[in-house]
Chains A and B, each alone.
Chain A
C-alpha cells in the first residue's frame, strides 16, 4: 500500500462524522462540484412513501455503475467515510456513525485497496447466491411479491470483542430475568403481589395464557430461543428495542450472510479475527436436547414444526432442521400415541422429545386452543402437561415480550436478578395512562408510537418521518384505543455504511443477537442479525418493510 493512500486511509477513532467530511475521498457516483471532493447533501427529513415492494435492491442497482463520476482518485475505493447523516428533525443529538470506529480499521484498509467495480460485481454475485440458495421471505398481503429476496449488503457490521463482552453480559441478564418472570407469572405472581407490576398488565393482557398456570416446563426453561433487538445510540449506549420471546426468526440470515461473505471475500477473514457463528445449529440442537422431558429414553429426538410451505419463514424452518440434522414436520405428520407425540417416518411412528415449533400458540393444539387450527397437533398440549414432550418455546411466553410489559423490563430485571440492568430500556409512555396519553398526543411528531401486540413494523407511527395527514389519522386510532399503544422517543439510532450505487452511504441499523437457554446455561452467538433500513433516513428495519441485512462481525478481543 503506498504511503499516500495509507495517509488518506488513516481513520481517526472518535472523529465526528462531520469532521470526516474534508477527508472524504470518493463517492462512486456522487456529482463532484469541488475539485477532488464530491458534494455532500445533508439528509433531508425523510417522508415515508407508499411502500413499493419491488426490492429496494433493484432500485439501488437498477441504473448500474456506468454513471459513476470520475474523480481524481479513481484508483482507490472510498473507505468507510460517508456523507454526514444529519438527523434533521429526527433528533437534536448527533447520530453515531459506526463506520469510523476502531473495530472497522482493518476492514477499512482492505476496502481502500479494493476496486469499486469488483465490489459491485461481488454485491451482484452475493445477490445471485441468495437467489440460488432460495432464501426468500414472503410478505403477507402483497400479491406482487409472494416471494421476495431480502437485500443483503456486503459491508459487514463490526463490533469489538470488548463491546460484545459487555453486551452479552447484558443480554444474559435480561434473558434470565425474562425466564424468571415467566415462571413467576405462571405461578405465584410475586412481582404483582410486590406491587412492581400492576395486576391489570397481566389480567388484561391477551398474551397471558391461563392454561400455562402451574406448569413446570422441562428444565425450567420457557424461552429456549430468544432474539433481543438492540439499537446503538453512542459509544457504550445500547438500548433494547424489543424482546422476542415467542419464535424469533431471522437466524438463517445470520448464518447465510456469513457463509456468503466467506465465499465472496475469503481474504477478509484472514485479516480480521472474526468470531464464528456457524456452530449455531449445533448449539441449538444441544440446547434443545438439554431441555428434554422426563419421558425421554436415550438420545433426545428433536424436530422442527413448521406451519408449512406457505409460511413466510418456511425457508428458515427447513434450513434449521437441515443444519441441525433433525426432521422438519408439519402438524399432520404428528399424532398423540402411547402417551407421546410421535412423527410419521418411513419406518413407522417415532416419539419426539423436543419440538422446536414455529407455529403460534393459538394454532398449536386445536383440542386446547383455536379449534379451527389445521396447523397444530390435537392433544400436544396435554402431552406437554403430562411431561411427555418439550415445546420450545413454551406456550404463553408472549406475556414477556409484549410491548406494554416491555416498559417494566428494568423493574423485572432488578426484581429477579437483584442487579441493575446492564442494557438500557427505551423510555416508554403507556397510552392507557391518561397523563401519558395526553403527553403523547401533544408530541406525536417527535415520537414513535407502536401497537402493544404489533410486530413486523406494521401499525406504527414514526412521527418525525410522517406527514401531518398520517399523524392526524394515527391520532384518531390512538384516541379510539389508547390501551393498544405505547410511545417512545425517536432515538438517534447509529448508522453503518452500506454499499450503494452512489458509493457508501450511512443507514440506520438494529441488531438481533440470538440467545439459547437451557439448564446448561445461556449461549449467545457472537453477533446476530444486523437489519438495516435501506431507505435513506428510514428508521424501520423490518424485512417486511424494505429492510435489508448485513453480516455482523464480533472481533476476537
Chain B
C-alpha cells in the first residue's frame, strides 16, 4: 500500500449580496469525516458576516454547522482550513456504518430518478456479470454520456436532465451514476469533497459517487476522472444526492441578487 498523502486544504466560500440581508440561515457541511483511511489532523471553519448557531451530526453522520447571517450583512464568508492525511485504498471505503439502513440508498430521490436516458445507460452495462466491473463500466459510460463541461448545467438538474443534455459538471455525473446504480439495484450515494489536482487553485469543490457491494462495502467512483478515488481525494460529506451533501444550503430574506465565489486550494505536503 502506498504511503498516505498529507493534503492541506484552504476553501473559501464567499457570498456577496447586492443589498443588506435582513435574515438568513445556511446549513454548512464543510468538515471532513474522520475515517480509518482519512485522518483529519486539523480543521477549522471560520465565519465572517455570520455566526455559528449550532453544530450537529445529520443522519449520514456528516458534521453540520448551522450558520446565521448577521442582520443586514452584505457578505458572508465561510473559510475552511485544515490538513488531512489520506490512504490510497483503490476507492474502497469499506463496511457500511451508522444507522441509515442500506435500503435507503437503493431508493431513487427526486434528483436521481432514472428516466429513459438513465435506464438505457444502466442497461448498456448490465451484460458484465462481475458487479465491481459493472460499476467501473457504468462510471465510464456516465463519463461518456455526460461530457464534463462547466457553465452549461444548472444546480437543480436531475440525473435524467444531465444524461439527456449530454453534458454537465461532476455533480451531474455523480447523480447519473447514482441513478443508474440504483436502477440496477445497487445502493449508491453522493460524496462531496476535494481533489488534489495539478492545478492547485480551483474554483469549485469536487463530487463523486460511492456504491455498495456485499464483499467490499462502499466503493468510490469518480466518473469525471474515470477512476476510483485514491489518496488525492478528501471526503467531506455523503448523502442520498447533492441536496443532502451540499457544502452550503440555506434560505434568506431580501430581494437583492447575490454572487457566489468559491476558491479551493489543495496542496500535497
Contact = CB atoms under 8 A, between A and B. Distances in A.
B27 A382 contact: yes
Interface string A362-401: 0000110001000000110011011110000000000000
Contacts of B56: 382, 385-387
Contacts of A210: 59, 100, 104, 240
A541 to B, nearest CB: 37
A211 interface: yes
A214 B61 contact: yes
B68 interface: yes
B72 interface: no
A213 B59 CA distance: 5
A214 B103 CA distance: 16
Contact of B57 (A203, A214, A338, A371): A214
B100 A386 contact: no
A199 B27 CA distance: 31
Nearest to A186: B99
A188 B53 contact: no
The listed residue with most A CB atoms (<10 A of its CB), out of B56, B98, B107, is B56
A180 interface: no
Interface in B53-84: 53-59, 61, 64, 66, 68
A339 B66 CA distance: 9
A212 interface: yes
A335 B23 CA distance: 10
A187 interface: yes
Contacts of A378: 25, 251
A386 B101 CA distance: 22
Interface string B21-57: 0010101000000000000000000000000011111
A187 B99 CA distance: 5
A199 B23 CA distance: 42
B185 interface: no
A367 B59 contact: no
**Chain A interface category by residue count:** 20 to 34
Contacts of A339: 53-54
Given A210-B59, A336-B66, A382 B54 contact: yes
A189 B101 contact: yes
Contact of A383 (B58, B66, B240, B250): B66
Contacts of A335: 23
A367 B25 contact: yes
Nearest to A371: B251
Contacts of B25: 336, 367, 378-379
Nearest to B64: A382
Contacts of B240: 210
Interface in A174-198: 186-189, 192
Contacts of A192: 101
Given A203-B103, A378-B25, A386 B55 contact: yes
The listed residue with most A CB atoms (<10 A of its CB), out of B25, B53, B57, B103, is B53
B54 A386 contact: yes
Given A211-B59, A212-B59, A188 B99 contact: yes
Contacts of B103: 199, 203
Interface in A315-367: 335-339, 366-367
B250 A367 contact: yes
Interface string A6-49: 00000000000000000000000000000000000000000000
A212 B100 CA distance: 10
A243 to B, nearest CB: 23
Nearest to A366: B251
A181 to B, nearest CB: 15
A387 B59 CA distance: 15
Contact of A367 (B61, B104, B107, B251): B251
B101 A379 contact: no
A388 to B, nearest CB: 6
Contacts of B53: 336-339, 379, 382-383
The listed residue with most B CB atoms (<10 A of its CB), out of A189, A212, A378, is A378
Interface string B94-129: 000011110110010000000000000000000000
Contacts of A379: 25, 53-54, 66, 68
A378 B253 CA distance: 12
A213 B54 contact: no
Contacts of A187: 99
A129 to B, nearest CB: 45
B57 to A, nearest CB: 7
A386 B104 contact: no
Contacts of A382: 27, 53-54, 56, 64, 66
A520 B251 CA distance: 39
Contact of A385 (B58, B99, B101, B251): B58
B213 to A, nearest CB: 19
A211 B59 CA distance: 6
Contacts of A366: 251
Given A199-B103, A203-B107, A337-B68, 16 more contacts: A187-B99, A189-B99, A203-B103, A211-B58, A211-B59, A214-B57, A336-B66, A366-B251, A367-B27, A367-B251, A379-B54, A382-B56, A383-B66, A385-B58, A385-B64, A388-B54
11 contacts: A188-B99, A192-B101, A203-B104, A214-B61, A214-B99, A338-B53, A339-B53, A382-B53, A382-B56, A382-B64, A387-B56
Interface of B: 23, 25, 27, 53-59, 61, 64, 66, 68, 98-101, 103-104, 107, 240, 250-251
User: 5 closest A-B pairs (Cβ-Cβ)?
Assistant: A386-B54, A213-B59, A385-B56, A386-B56, A382-B66
